[in-house]
Amino acid sequence: MLQTEPIAPISLSADEADVKAEDYLWTLNFGPQHPATHTTLRLVLKLDGERVVDAIPDIGYLHSGFEKLGEHLDYNQYVTVTDRMNYISPMANNVAWHHAVEKLLDIEITPRCQYVRVIVSELARISDHLLSCGAMGLDTGAFTFFLYAFYQREVIYDIFETLCGARFTNSYTRVGGAMHDITPLVVEKIRTFLDTFPKTLEDMERLLNRNRIFVDRTKGVGVLSKEEAIATSASGPVARASGVTLDVRKDEPYLAYGDFDFKVCCMRTGDCYARYLVRMAELRESLKIVRQAIDNLPSGPINVGVDERTALPDKRQVYQTIEGTITHFELMMNNRGFQVPQEEVYAAIEAPNGELGFYVVGDGSHVAYRARCRPPSFIHFAVFPRLIRGHTLSDVVAVLGSLNIIAAELDR
């Protein structure tokens, strides 16, 4: 039968309206295995149609007890675990860990080592930003951009392989120095990279910066205001895209960062597009730093001298000199080793993702009493529900990509 009268609108009391409103919501599990999360993390999304009403992050799937392991591995061994935290830029983690340990042990590393560490951590920053921008492009439909970025990451892997023998899990730094000195071949490869990369970078910018699809999907999405960024302890590119002018490299220059001329890249808008642009701008600044460091690379040893008994001597010294043999044995024996004070210290570096700090407690023995890592991904993922509320389901991947959440660092 045909209904002729218009249907009267149903009026509900406030309580009933709430229940009815809940009826519309769908709960969607995003992850833990999902191609667009890139790593193992789970989101419980409350959806109203396509719109995300709320997001509840559920983490811990990749928790591997790295901090507990840090209490059982010595100061040189633990560097292999830091590789596996943010595996997109392991070099930066290595530098961060030994930066904290050397602050605890009061070791002054050589000028050459400072420069080499700056070079490797800036190359790590380039490779990290390439991945996070590339993956963000991939998730928003820009596959070519992703391949451009990954090709250049491959070049950096090649440089690291020539430098220390490992492409991915470098474990390059050591207490008081590094595993190997930088060789002329590495310098040549870095110079080639410095000369060829800017052209690719221009191509990448031309591909995406004014790409209608990409800009529409990222501009105005996931806006983090400056006040929110400070209140939620955001750091690194996420904070700088919201107008917080913090950068540990400038604020508390560690290693040799005081010697270099570079800018801190900031935006005011705080959306996904701003975070992308900040990362792209930081690529250029990192290139500037690497070029200055390569041009002014100090000569001299990379490790602290054998007599200081802090850095492991190289094998030639161990086998051919008595000082080398003694130092090697002293450092390798658990009851000798380093002179560790019964003290604790917090030291941070500006990792590609934000402030990466280690709180190291020494108890006089060869292992740390506590090795706390302050992971930027963990801090940034806590902000995620605030960023995604009110946006659509397809924006989840854009926001995730722009925060660069690395689950191994998130869960440790």
Partner 1 sequence: MHHLSDVIDDLRELTTGTTEEVTVTEFRGQQRIVLPKSVLKDSFGRLRDNWGFDLMVDITCVDYLNYRGARNRFGLVYVLASSGANTRLVLRVMLNEPDLSVVSAVPFWEGADWLEREVWDMFGICFEGHPNLQRILMPEEFTAHPLRKDYPLQGRGERHHFPTLTRSEA
Query: What is the contact surface with partner 1 in residues (CB under 8 A)?
Result: 59-60, 63, 65, 67-69, 71-72, 103-104, 106, 228, 230-235, 244, 246, 251-252, 341-346, 348, 355, 357, 359, 361, 363-364, 369-370, 372, 374, 378-379, 381-382, 411-412
Degrees to nearest 5, angle at CA 408 with 406 and 412:
130
Minimum CB separation of residue 23 from partner 1 in Å reads: 24
Minimum CB separation of residue 231 from partner 1 in Å reads: 4
- Rounded to whole angstroms, the Cα distance separating 328 from 331 reads 5
Minimum CB separation of residue 112 from partner 1 in Å reads: 23
Degrees to nearest 5, angle at CA 389 with 218 and 22:
140
Which tokens sit at 132? 């996070």
Give the DSSP letter string of 114-152.
Answer: HHHHHHHHHHHHHHHHHHHHHHHHHHTT-HHHHHHHHHH
Contact 268, 243 (CB under 8 A): yes
Minimum CB separation of residue 17 from partner 1 in Å reads: 25
Q: Which sign, positive or negative, has the C-alpha torsion 104, 105, 110, 116? A: negative
Q: What is the DSSP letter of 53?
A: E
In this structure, how many other beta carbons lie within 10 angstroms of the beta carbon of residue 305? 15
Nearest Cα to Cα of residue 303 among 162, 179, 165: 179
Minimum CB separation of residue 93 from partner 1 in Å reads: 16
Minimum CB separation of residue 386 from partner 1 in Å reads: 9
Nearer to partner 1, 135 or 351 (CB): 351
Nearer to partner 1, 169 or 232 (CB): 232
Nearer to partner 1, 58 or 330 (CB): 58
CA-based radius of gyration for the chain: 24
Nearer to partner 1, 323 or 363 (CB): 363
Nearer to partner 1, 156 or 234 (CB): 234
Nearer to partner 1, 159 or 246 (CB): 246
